[in-house]
Amino acid sequence: MTYSFLAGLASAAALQLVMWSIGGLRTGYEISGLLGIGGIIIAGLMLGAFLAASREPAQKSAPDDREGQKNVQRIAVMILLFAVPHFVYAFVYFLNTAA
Give the model confidence (pLDDT) of 48-66 as tens digits. 777 666 655 555 666 667 8
Is 40:79 a contact under the CB 8 Å cutoff? no
Residues 6+ apart with CB under 8 A from 44: 50
Is 39:86 a contact under the CB 8 Å cutoff? yes
Q: pLDDT: is 82 or 2 the higher one?
A: 82
How many Å apart are CA 14 and CA 8, to the nearest integer?
A: 10
How many Å apart are CA 40 and CA 58, to the nearest integer?
A: 19
Residue 32 CB neighbours (<10 A)? 25
Residues 6+ apart with CB under 8 A from 89: 12, 16, 29, 32, 36
Residue 86 CB neighbours (<10 A)? 25
Residue 62: what residue type?
A: A
53 secondary structure, DSSP code = S
Give the model confidence (pLDDT) of 10-39 as tens digits. 998 898 888 888 887 788 888 889 999 999
